[in-house]
Structure 1
Amino acid sequence: MKKLLGALATACALGASQLAGAAVVNFDSPALIDIDNASGRAVYREAGFALSGEAAGFLTIDGLGSAMTGALVLLDGSTVSLMANDGGLFSFAGLAAGSLDTQGSAALRITGIFGDNSELSTLLALSQLGPLTAPMWTGLTELRFMADGDLVIDDIRLDAGEVPEPAPVALLLLGIGVLVGVRRTAPAGKAGLAA
């Protein structure tokens, strides 16, 4: 019984490791910006991702954002690009965003570039800072954020690593089914020997 439960726990742990990798870029460490003065480009790194663009177009500010600990300010007309540090594929699950001017409005265009070089884009109208419903995109190599008006971005929810394919999940479920079947037949075999 202990061996069966141990094998089942191992199978579940291996399957769950395929699903791990969720990350949130929350801009809580504004000192992480590297600026190349020669090119005018800036890079902010957090949670396994790099956000880059023109240094004059974006900055992280402490005491701003959904948790008031840090956020990204993206100035009107600026574009920043987000990629995984390892260059791999990732998923985008949403973010918090709003107009920097609480009395005004702004818009954020999000463009996803996928592993097959296809692109999808969405335009979000912004008012006060808050969580936004954004499309769930998987298999991305890059995300681009373009500001129409001065805006604030926070809590970009990502999944570092590819979304598991159905085959490994099916194999995990098949393995669990076999283990349960072995466990159910074991007591019947022992009862037959006692007779």
Structure 2
Amino acid sequence: MKLRLLVATLALLALGESAQAGLLRFDNPDPIAIDPGNVATYTEAGFALSSQAADFLLLDNGAGDGMLVGGFFGAGPVTLRAAAGGLFSLLSLDFGYFDLGDPPGLLAITGLLNGQQVALQTLSLGALATVQFDSQWASLSEVMFSASSGFQLDNIAAVPEPGGLAWLGLGLTGLLARRRPQP
């Protein structure tokens, strides 16, 4: 019995450790895939960004320093999801204005859970800056980025939720072990 409990505990710890933060840096980016429905998708660090084709571009300066650029005239939102599905938390990102011929505008970041808005932050676009997100940006199924002008994103930090579930399972395993009479 103790051996089974030890094996279950180790398995839960391993699962918890596998849910590490993903960092989308867009450095030396892979190609963007475009499906027959004209939806463009880019996948990195366990997360996928998607939008209608040509609504965003990945730029790389050739020295391994890249960024995502969006906000083209009439462009729809760019959506971030966990590539394998499921919930995730948005931790931080770098953002700024990208000159597409229009003056700097606003960037709206919307957190969704199963299609319902649960978080919203509007940022003024200007020089490259970093924004940190609080606990209302946890347990999201997707995040949408839309802007009234050209914008750039970089260093998007997010973490999938299974790690939290693994720690909950570990706690429940400990409680069950405590309830069992010791021989």
- Bin of the TM-score, shorter chain as denominator length: 0.7 to 0.9
Residue aligning to 2:181:
none
Q: Using the alignment, how far apart are the partners of 1:90 and 1:112 within structure 2?
A: 10
The 5 A counterparts of 1:19-168 are: 20-36=19-35, 39-63=37-61, 69-76=65-72, 77-78=74-75, 79-101=77-99, 105-115=104-114, 117-136=116-135, 137-162=137-162, 164=164, 167-168=168-169
Distance 1:150 1:23, change over 3 A: same
Q: Output the TM-score relative to the length of structure 2.
A: 0.73
Gaps of 5+ in 1: 1-6, 178-195
Residues 14-38 of structure 1: CA deviation (Å, up to 9, x unaligned): 44742532111111233321124x5
Distance 1:16 1:173, change over 3 A: farther
> Residue 9 of structure 2 contacts residue 170 of structure 2 at CA under 8 Å; is this kept in 1?
no
- Percent of matched pairs sharing the same residue: 35
Q: Output the TM-score relative to the length of structure 1.
A: 0.69
> Residue 12 of structure 1 contacts residue 172 of structure 1 at CA under 8 Å; is this kept in 2?
no
> Residue 107 of structure 1 contacts residue 147 of structure 1 at CA under 8 Å; is this kept in 2?
yes
RMSD: 3.4
> Residue 68 of structure 2 contacts residue 153 of structure 2 at CA under 8 Å; is this kept in 1?
yes
The range that moved more, 143-152 or 68-77, is 68-77
Distance 1:85 1:167, change over 3 A: closer
Post-superposition offset of 1:117:
3.6
| Count of aligned positions | 169
* Greater relative CO, 1 or 2 (CA 8 Å, sep 6+): 2
> Residue 71 of structure 2 contacts residue 150 of structure 2 at CA under 8 Å; is this kept in 1?
yes
Q: Using the alignment, how far apart are the partners of 2:173 and 2:130 within structure 1?
A: 34
Post-superposition offset of 1:84:
1.3
Larger-gyration structure (1/2): 1
> Residue 55 of structure 2 contacts residue 71 of structure 2 at CA under 8 Å; is this kept in 1?
yes
Residues 153-173 of structure 1: CA deviation (Å, up to 9, x unaligned): 001110023452574464578
* Amino acid paired to 1:27: F
Gaps of 5+ in 2: 1-5, 179-183
Distance 1:116 1:59, change over 3 A: closer
Determine helix, strand or coil for the equivalent of 2:127. Answer: coil
More helix by share: 1
Post-superposition offset of 1:111:
0.7
Q: Using the alignment, how far apart are the partners of 1:72 and 1:43 within structure 2?
A: 12
